[in-house]
Amino acid sequence: MASRMRPFQRIMEPADRIAEVMFGLIMALTFTGSISISDAGRNDVRAMLIGALGCNIAWGLIDGIFYVMIGFADRGRDARALQAVRNADDPAQAKALLAQTLPDEVTAVLTEQQLERVRVTLKQAPPPIPPTPGVRDLLAGLAVASLVFGSTLPIALPFLLFQDGQLAMRVSNGIAIAMLFVAGALYARVVGGRAWLIGAVMVVLGIALVAMTIALGG
């Protein structure tokens, strides 16, 4: 996987953002889906949702930390691969290492002469700088945490705003379905496909994951 740290305006890839929103949605739905409005009092529901929001803040921070750790490992692996190509004494070995490092789609269209030019260019380039944590790492972690927590708010807010528990549940479920559909439609832009179809699939997938999580005691 290529480095996950991009220029400031591309701290996170679109697919990463959608995945984090989906994670937050499923986390929130496991809480709201387990609420029994008929058995719980208004104060009990409000207290549980406040606890759920706090839990999602914690999970958002944990998810952000792991996201940064994975991105940091990706950058370290890329730097080691580049250094291995530069240090290889045998040109054939260097080109083989280079072919393994590049995406398969790129390797498939490069000729031996082009690979050799890339090898020579890398050999003459300054040595790669070992990755070190920086501001973009912090921003990426905060972005992940914010996405996970932010995606839970629209689902939880109806329970805090409406006195009627049944109405709050219907509004919350409607918002969740809409957000799942929009996430799927946006994902269609990344993978290429029909927005309405992938949006519908995302709704079904999200509901299935939530049902499975609740059934397993999550």
Q: What residue ranges do the domains of the chain occupy? A: 8-215
Per the confidence metrics, is the pTM higher than 0.75? Answer: no
Residue type, 172: S
For residue 37, give every residue at least 6 positions away whose Cβ sits within 8 Å of its Cβ, in sequence order, or none: 45, 165, 166, 168, 169
Whole-Å CA distances, 106 to 83, 102, 111, 192: 20, 6, 10, 20
Q: Among residues 150, 157, 187, which one has the least CA distance to residue 174?
A: 157
Q: Is pLDDT of 17 > 50? A: yes
Q: Using one digit for the tens of pLDDT, what is the confidence trace for 30-42?
A: 777 776 655 556 6
Q: Is the dihedral of CA 59, 167, 180, 5 positive or negative?
A: negative
Whole-number pLDDT of residue 182 = 93
Hey, what are 45's tokens?
Answer: 């529901």
Q: Is pLDDT of 118 > 70? A: yes
Q: Using one digit for the tens of pLDDT, what is the confidence trace for 43-54?
A: 666 766 777 778
Q: What is the mean pLDDT of residues 172-185?
A: 90
Whole-number pLDDT of residue 10 = 58
Return d(Cα 201, Cα 192) in angstroms, integer. Answer: 14
